[in-house]
Amino acid sequence: MNIERISTGIKELDKLIEGGIPKGFLVAVTGEPGTGKTILCLHFVQKGIEEDEPSIYITTEESRESLVRQAAQFGWDFDEAMARGQLIVIDALMKQKKDEWSLHRMTIDELIAMIIRAKQQFGYGHARLVIDSMSAFWLDKPAMARKYSYQIKRTLSKWNFTILITSQYAITTSDAFGFGVEHIADGIIRFRRYIRSGILHRYLIIEKMRQTNHDLRMWEIEIVNGVGLRLIRPVESRREDTVLPSKVIRRILEAKEKEREGI
């Protein structure tokens, strides 16, 4: 079956997923802060701009101006794209009353209504959509995460979008802020971070991509001014990747010792 695929904007990443994300998919982009989630989303939107494809970007954790400045670091002019009517950035952080594209209440219903209004301006053709991040909508009510995620997918699937949704993980525990996006997503791209020899290293792994024979390796990545996100190399397997955690090994040994004592 011939599947139409949408480029992520990163050639090396596209190669890992048979050329891109299947059109119409909702992909969860998860990970700790500072690992590269937003930059992947910027690549995704910039590729749409290059291909004259409309895009909508919802930013909940930085202002529209901050997002535009970040894109400019990599040579991407989001201001021009917005002026041409090719890109709409919905600001859900600053909540400016006179701004047509500011989200005044952090509710799923208002978010969906504004996305649909923006899409109506673009017409019925395919568009790219980024929600960065969904975690902001359930920080005070994590039990609602799955319900909200289903609502987003069920409603927006009718509007001819390919969607990236970011979701934060806590630095201290690596736990998700709410459980929802990953359960309903058609694909999951997980970002990770480790400190080795006092230096921060960033990684990504494709944990899920339906209808796709995707790469299963973890890749080290780097973020480069004027370029964006680059894949460096797949990570070599290490002993700790396959060996049981030390706590589990200790419990097994303790159980065996008790068994010997009983005999």
Question: Is the confidence at residue 145, as pLDDT, over 50?
Answer: yes
Of 254 and 35, the structure prediction assigns the larger pLDDT to 35
Q: Provide the 3-class DSSP secondary structure of residue 127.
A: strand
Q: Is the pTM of this model over 0.85?
A: yes
| pLDDT at residue number 138 | 78
**Average pLDDT in the 154-166 region?**
96
Max CA-CA distance within the chain? 80
| For residues 206-222, average pLDDT | 97
Q: Which domains does the chain have, with CATH numbers?
A: 5-238 (3.40.50.300)
Q: How many helices (H) and strands (E) does the chain have?
A: 9, 11
pLDDT band at 170 (very low <50, low <70, confident <90, very high): low
Separation between Cα atoms, residue 186 and residue 162, nearest integer Å: 11
Q: For the packed helices 108-122 and 145-156, what is the interaxial angle rounded to 10 degrees? A: 20
- The count of C-alpha atoms lying within 13 angstroms of the C-alpha of 182, restricted to the half-sphere facing its C-beta, is 18
Residue among 123, 112, 133, 121 nearest 88 (CA): 121
Chain-centroid distance, C-alpha 243? 30
Share the mean pLDDT of the chain. 89
pLDDT digits (tens, 9 = 90+) for 11-70: 999 999 999 999 999 999 999 889 999 999 999 999 999 999 999 999 999 999 999 999
Q: CA 153: distance to chain centroid? A: 15
